[in-house]
Structure 1
């Protein structure tokens, strides 16, 4: 009888310990809804963001700034155009940049009467004098390289993306849309333009509800979106984030950084809101944080592929907007030529 009672008591204690652990964990690691008021400020920053957008002194001082120096600063557009694409590239990726210049980065499709495209490359500093000299020659030849004085490493991607956004705001005054893309992505410019006609229902035709949504919100933040994404907690994972660094169950919804599309309104609102969001080393998550603070909702399309979409003839790519995994320059060129 005593043994049975002891087992029952032990079982009850075990359940109590599990319950207490769950409660404490819940208290410590809040849901993503708490993110909006606790990461990083418990203040409403909307007024200050509006002041920054209007080039006024903000009521609240920004907690985060992207004030790196532009070592290479090419022109953007000097006349009305539809789109600027800024390719996030590594300093050593000469061949990838050249493949893009020879393919989708050099298309001259006329869209609604405007020259539709300007492609630029965003780089950091390599720290290697010989490599920097080669980049200078490349820049002088093509006039399409933006370079800043931060170290070009994977975990400085947030700096790279935000400096690209800052460049776009300061230099690309005649553009309606901005695309931020990695240099191992294939882009179909024609399909990208089709997507802009119908972002909520692509590849089907635009509906009145689509137009109403965009007209009412005014913001386009689109690509391959993740809804209710959770942080990776396994230390061996490339995107590992500790509970101390980010103490929430899930991230705000965000668009993968491989191909990100913003209209001018969204670019301005997200960039200026980011100045009040604690910097985070995963750039696409960080942009999602700023978008969440700004109350901007991502738009998702399956035609932005975060894996490599196998090319099996024209029909296999007839609706593809972007595809990841083009590490081989010849592969990029051959795919593009096959779709001409």
Structure 2
């Protein structure tokens, strides 16, 4: 008789029956370990939350009054004989992998992860395991990231060129994670950095634990003359709305892994696309799987079928997929665009 897996997937999320604990549950549960603050992984309605200490203010900001316990990196805590610990995922600030050990068997759930050190998120830590549960948002060979130093050089050069033409640079990135990464690497010697309210609010929450350049919130009183030649960080949802009219004349750009494909930029009516992702590329995914030393892999979201098939056929691993409700905003439509462009 085969034993019950240490972690199982059910209608509420990823469940450890022995400890009666969920990880990144997508429906309300009694106790949930949360890997990071993005809305698809940190849902409202759990009775108790466990997460990294630096993620506590993030999820409180997003979810309101919740009962939450913060843990440090590598700090072990045991529930009914099962030992848990959190390890940096490198995805965004305060993002974790969850290591789960019971009777000598080790599982690791990555949540979302990035192997490149971006200079703001805690760097990814490789964790050895028997079973590895991984995302594969960009699990296609076509996704190969340029080193971020080159990307940020291009972004700052783009800003400087727009400034020479007396235009406002509007750069889109998600309000948690991407926006702070952009902010960290923008060159303030070029001009002032302005922010959309959603980005400013989240950045304010993070300033107690992380260092960022000075920013100026855009308000109703901000004049478009103040913005000329400077840069504005805004969430993608701000594009096409009345808010952006204040920026005229402006040039737009989006920083995303989906900018790999020309159709993604065209369909969004974006002037410039910078390929910059908070997820691992194809090589990063493969090298991480190999270096964990795992025998089994479960692919949870992204190009799961393609990625798991490659692991089985080319690497000889026991790899399968599981359906979840984890999905980066806009990624379903972006995936369709990517497949059309491949």
Q: Which has the higher helix share?
A: 1
Larger radius of gyration: 1
Q: TM-score, with normalisation over the residues of structure 2?
A: 0.25
Q: State TM-score, norm by structure 1.
A: 0.26
